[in-house]
Amino acid sequence: MMYQVYSGLSKVFNRCSQTSLSSVEFIFQPGVRKLSALREPKIIRIPATMARTIKEAEITKEKRDQEKKKKQSQQGNKSVPVISCKRSQFNHYKGQSYSKFDEVPLASKGWHHYKSAGDYFTINSMGGNPAFAHMKDEVCDFDSLGLSRDILEEIEKLGFKVPTNIQALAIPHIIEGKNTLITAETGNGKTLAFLAPLLQQIRKYKDLNKDLPMNTPLGLIIVPGRELAEQIHAVASAMSEDLEINVELVKGGRTKNLMRYPKVGKVHLIVATIGALSKLTTNGIYDVSLVRHIVVDEADSLLDDSFSEALLRYMSKFPIQGTHMEDTSQPIETSGIQLTLVSATLPRSLHTILDPIVNLESIERIDTPYLHRIQPHVPQQFLRVNSVTKESKLLELARSCKSKGLPVIIFSNNSKTCDWLSLFLNENGISCVNLNGYMPAIVRNDQFRKFQDGEVIALSCTDLASRGLDTSKAAQVINFEFPKFISDYIHRCGRIGRVGSTHTGKVTNLVHRPSEIELVQKIEYAARKSEEYHNVNANIKRRLTGKDMEE
């Protein structure tokens, strides 16, 4: 028994040998064979320099771990390439990002060197048409937008069931009578966005003034070109057939005959090119004193240096409403005029141009998330070619479209190239028609009809066909000559992937000249950084001759 007690004490002393005896207290209680040792917390002291070294090492390790995680996140998901390049080291992946001070690697950076011919990269499709990308958890249909039953029935007849994002946003504002600036990517349904509420308003105004004089419209739709005017007139006429609204088309080419033999009748809405409308109004063929609503479609074109002087001079005659909408129950003559501007691109100088004719504070701006951005549903390929391989590459692409039965639109920067390409393709077995501003209007209409009806597989054109026209049957766009400005590229890409299109389509760009390469680099940079294009302006006059534009 005594041996066991001494043995236990020995073990305690051994355990406590590493500390001072003053820190150990032995407690004996009668009848209890228990030994306790109470210790103070052990403190290990190290030199201050070593402590600092350890702390710095911990901080360095933490920073290194953070940088590693950041680098991994910046590299993105390598199974989902957003940009696929011939040289895979330049691929850009979903989720990949660049810090503020990082140099963005561009596949097109070395394309100024002649040996870069044959290189390429593709901005891949990354989703569906953004026109239907409504806000989450929001159920939207035409019934909820404030349209009357008869207008809704006309929309149903046209086959539209769900509004696009710009229609859902713009229609209520226009119905409320607000001055509105509608900006949305091409092919997004902007025509219906302004036409449906405009027809509803005109019907209301018509009921307030039943004894409307002859040739006295209540609404005007002003556009830059004849083809667009004809297209909008066709849609407006189809919707107005059962609404007892008379829609008149006024376009260049026949103004002299109209002034000599004016057409007289009840007119509620006029769709017109600015030159023809200005002449017929000035000569008294149309009385615009009762106009209640003016729509300026393709506003970026009409307000650039090609048309702005003529348009502003004409618009200055109208008392555009201020910051509020006057009571429409009052006589039409006492109310201000509502203004709606529609465009796929927004010039930087727009507000400066509009300042003389409208209170800028009264304009409600409505735009979509993908305005001035790469369209996520349309793949875009950029091929670096040279003067020797350019034509053969075009022929290869055109033959591929022919074999697959895919209608293709081929863009050039001038009429001579446009005409030559049509001859070149026809000689090589590709049925093609050409379309440019040097043709008479009747010839242009017939050429475009052949393409729309499927009589030919290819349409060779200038930028005259890049804006506003309904090319929903087109499956591919080829830029034989790359455009000189971002706005032109946006409008050309908008010929495919439109609402109602049977094909999503693809854009193929043949890039050759130094100025073309510089613009491609800006597009690639915007795609990699997920940013808007910069300096988006129309400026049509600097690239098209006077005959390429319409009265």
Among residues 370, 392, 407, the alpha carbon closest in space to that of 495 is found at 407
Q: Distance from first CA to last CA of the chain, Å, rounded?
A: 122
Q: Is 407 buried (19+), middle (13-18) or exposed (0-12) by CB count in 10 A?
A: buried
| Per-residue pLDDT at 131 exceeds 60 | yes
User: Domain segments of the chain: what residues?
Assistant: 83-128+373-548, 134-367
- pLDDT tier at 187, thresholds 50, 70, 90: confident
Question: Do the domains spanning 83-128+373-548 and 134-367 agree at the CATH topology level?
Answer: yes
Mean pLDDT of 83-98: 92
pLDDT tens for 442-488 read 898 899 999 999 999 999 999 988 886 778 889 999 999 999 998 89
| Per-residue pLDDT at 201 exceeds 90 | yes
- pLDDT tier at 378, thresholds 50, 70, 90: very high
Q: Are 406 and 455 in contact (CB under 8 A)?
A: no
- pLDDT tier at 333, thresholds 50, 70, 90: very low
pLDDT of residue 404: 93
Domain range 134-367, CATH class? alpha beta
- Kindly report the average pLDDT of the chain as a whole number: 83
Residue 229 sits at φ, ψ, to 5 deg, of -60, -45
pLDDT of residue 358: 84
Name the more confident of 174 and 208. 174
Dist CA 107 CA 97 (whole Å): 16
Cα Rg of the chain (Å, integer): 35
Among residues 176, 205, 199, 177, the alpha carbon closest in space to that of 320 is found at 177
Torsion of Cα atoms, 68 then 71 then 77 then 83, to 10°: -160
How many other CB atoms are there within 10 angstroms of residue 434's CB atom?
26
The three-point CA angle 435-436-437 to 5° equals 140
Global pTM value:
0.78
Name the more confident of 419 and 469. 419
pLDDT > 90: percent of the chain: 46
The mean-pLDDT minimum among 18-32, 140-154, 251-265 falls in 18-32
Mean pLDDT of 354-358: 80
pLDDT tens for 2-12 read 444 444 444 44
Q: Domain 83-128+373-548 falls in which CATH fold?
A: Rossmann fold (3.40.50)
Among residues 355, 247, 243, 336, the alpha carbon closest in space to that of 291 is found at 336
Mean pLDDT of 410-426: 96
pLDDT of residue 456: 96
pLDDT of residue 249: 93
The mean-pLDDT minimum among 343-347, 400-404, 488-492 falls in 343-347
- pLDDT tier at 549, thresholds 50, 70, 90: very low
